[in-house]
Amino acid sequence: MLNARIPRKTHNSLNRCALFNLTVISACLYAGMEWLFFMIRPSSLSILALLDSIKILFVTAGTISIMSIALLVILLLPAVAVRNSSWRSQLLILGNIVPALLLSITALIMLDNFTYTEFKFGIISTEDPLRSMYALGFLIFFWLMFISSKRAIWARQKFAFYLALSLLVVSIAAILATRLASYPNIIILGSDGLSARYLTAYDSNQKSTPFLAMLAQTSLVAENAFPNAGSTTGSTTTVLTGKNTIGTNVYRYSDTLSGRDSLEHLPGILRQHGYETVEIGTPHYVDARKINLREGFDVVNNQSMIERSSDTFSAALGNSLSTPFIQTILERASERLLHIFFIKNLQLLPVMVETSADPQSDEQRVDQIIDLLNHADQPLFIFAHLMDTHGPNFSFEKQVFSSEASVGKEWDERRYQDALLGFDGHVKRIYEHLAETGQLDRTILVIYTDHGFRYAIHERIPLIIHFPENASSGTRKNNVQNIDIPTTLLDYLGIPAPGWMEGTSLLDSEAPANREIISTTTGSPKEIAPPFHQINIAQLIVCQKWYALNVRRNIFDSGDISGHTSKCDQNRLPSGEQVRQRILEYLEKGGYDISSLEERQ
Binding site for Zn ion (CB under 5 A): 192, 232, 450
Residue 52 or 450: the one with the smaller Cβ distance to Zn ion is 450
Residue 291 or 579: the one with the smaller Cβ distance to Zn ion is 291
Residue 52 or 412: the one with the smaller Cβ distance to Zn ion is 412
Distance of CA 38 to the CA centre of its chain: 16
How far apart (Å, rounded) are the C-alpha atoms in residues 164 and 158? 10
Provide DSSP, 130-143.
HHHHHHHHHHHHHH
How far apart (Å, rounded) are the C-alpha atoms in residues 258 and 256? 6
Please report how close the Cβ of residue 425 comes to Zn ion at its closest, in angstroms.
20
Please report how close the Cβ of residue 532 comes to Zn ion at its closest, in angstroms.
21
Residue 232 or 272: the one with the smaller Cβ distance to Zn ion is 232
Residue 276 or 450: the one with the smaller Cβ distance to Zn ion is 450
Closest chain position to Zn ion (CB):
232
Provide DSSP, 26-76.
HHHHHHHHHHHHHHSSSSTTTTS-HHHHHHHHHHHHHHHHHHHHHHHHHHH
How far apart (Å, rounded) are the C-alpha atoms in residues 251 and 270? 24
How far apart (Å, rounded) are the C-alpha atoms in residues 553 and 594? 13
Residue 455 or 592: the one with the smaller Cβ distance to Zn ion is 455
Residue 15 or 232: the one with the smaller Cβ distance to Zn ion is 232
How far apart (Å, rounded) are the C-alpha atoms in residues 133 and 141? 12
Sign of CA dihedral 41, 45, 47, 49: negative
Please report how close the Cβ of residue 391 comes to Zn ion at its closest, in angstroms.
8
Please report how close the Cβ of residue 413 comes to Zn ion at its closest, in angstroms.
17
Residue 232 or 478: the one with the smaller Cβ distance to Zn ion is 232
How far apart (Å, rounded) are the C-alpha atoms in residues 489 and 493? 6
Nearest to 99 by CA among 171, 2, 21: 21
Tell me the CA distances in angstroms from 70 to 58, 64, 370, one per residue in order: 18, 10, 40
Q: Are 462 and 212 in contact (CB under 8 A)?
A: yes
Please report how close the Cβ of residue 268 comes to Zn ion at its closest, in angstroms.
23
Please report how close the Cβ of residue 451 comes to Zn ion at its closest, in angstroms.
6
Distance of CA 356 to the CA centre of its chain: 24
Q: Are 120 and 44 in contact (CB under 8 A)?
A: no
| CB proximity list for 83: less than 8 A, separation 6 or greater | none
Which strand ranges, in their side-by-side order, compose the sheet holding 537-542? 516-521, 537-542, 545-550, 555-560
Residue 109 or 386: the one with the smaller Cβ distance to Zn ion is 386
Please report how close the Cβ of residue 460 comes to Zn ion at its closest, in angstroms.
16
Please report how close the Cβ of residue 450 comes to Zn ion at its closest, in angstroms.
4
Radius of gyration of the chain (CA): 29
Nearest to 457 by CA among 367, 360, 559: 559
Please report how close the Cβ of residue 385 comes to Zn ion at its closest, in angstroms.
8
Provide long-range contacts, Cβ within 8 A and 24+ apart, for 508-511: 508/472, 510/476, 510/477, 510/478, 511/476, 511/478, 511/479, 511/480, 511/484
Residue 232 or 550: the one with the smaller Cβ distance to Zn ion is 232
Residue 192 or 264: the one with the smaller Cβ distance to Zn ion is 192
| CB proximity list for 176: less than 8 A, separation 6 or greater | none
Residue 238 or 443: the one with the smaller Cβ distance to Zn ion is 238
Please report how close the Cβ of residue 472 comes to Zn ion at its closest, in angstroms.
27
Please report how close the Cβ of residue 267 comes to Zn ion at its closest, in angstroms.
19
| DSSP H/E element including 581 | helix 576-589
Residue 455 or 492: the one with the smaller Cβ distance to Zn ion is 455
Locate all alpha helices (DSSP H) within 322-390, ordered by sequence: 323-340, 362-375
How far apart (Å, rounded) are the C-alpha atoms in residues 141 and 124? 20
